Chains A and B, each alone.
Chain A
């Protein structure tokens, strides 16, 4: 991915426009969040195998969403770099909203799983 980016942006001091490596840190933050989500999905699926059969689908879906989010982090990174270079705001309201909604639903599923165990 890095090579891909270099090929498109050959200027040697490209990183100088990004002091503090903000885009990289945001990328890694998205990646960590995606991986955490995948981990929770695995935990839910594990719980489902033991006691709550209906949770299995939810757990697997969550794991899938986590992996999608992790994969998307790279695209988001490239979009951020492009937006910064073009002087546009890199804000992505929809991604934030979807992530917040997903986490809230997941918390409610977890609450239900505990209450009905």
Chain B
């Protein structure tokens, strides 16, 4: 639980300094912006996770029996992808900031947008099928 240690410990041993420090000490505003971006990704993952659990737990069953599970599993799978890659994304950007290099380009936001759009299209289709067959 060392990460719970207060500012005093950090001032003493520099707990917070990156282990593989490269380049120069960057403008702290860039580091904090990077950290907030990381946290925004984490919250995105948590929101998708909550949505995935909620769609299985609270949404009434669709006409197609496996529909809720398909939606829930894909949402949580996307959340897992985001959170599993979030640390390396943060670290790559931190390195780039320290080296004064351009931020690494990433296909990830585009993939994520397409993935969520596909899941939403499936959700819409399930609802429309229920409406068309008079279930809803």
CB of A33 within 8 A of CB of B39, answer yes
List of A residues within 8 angstroms of B25 by Cβ: 87-89
CB of A44 within 8 A of CB of B53, answer yes
Which residues B38-60 have CB closer than 8 A to chain A? Answer: 38-40, 42-43, 45-47, 49-50, 52-54, 56-57
Contact for B39 among A29, A91, A113, CB less than 8 A: A29
Interface: A16 (CB within 8 A): no
List of B residues within 8 angstroms of A46 by Cβ: 57
List of B residues within 8 angstroms of A68 by Cβ: 4
Chain B residue total in the interface (Cβ 8 A): 51
Measured CB to CB, the nearest residue on chain A to B45 is: A103
Chain A residue total in the interface (Cβ 8 A): 55
CA distance A22 to B35 in the complex (A): 11
List of B residues within 8 angstroms of A40 by Cβ: 46, 49-50
Interface: A39 (CB within 8 A): yes
Q: How far is the CB of A99 from chain B (nearest CB, A)?
A: 6
Q: How far is the CB of A80 from chain B (nearest CB, A)?
A: 7
Which residues A48-80 have CB closer than 8 A to chain B? Answer: 50, 68, 72, 75, 78-80
What is the interface of chain A, defined by CB distance below 8 A to chain B?
A: 19-20, 22-23, 25-26, 29-30, 32-33, 36-37, 39-40, 43-44, 46-47, 50, 68, 72, 75, 78-80, 82-84, 86-101, 103-104, 106-108, 110-111, 113-115, 117
A to B CB contacts below 8 Å, 7 in the list: A26-B35, A39-B46, A50-B57, A79-B10, A91-B16, A93-B91, A107-B83
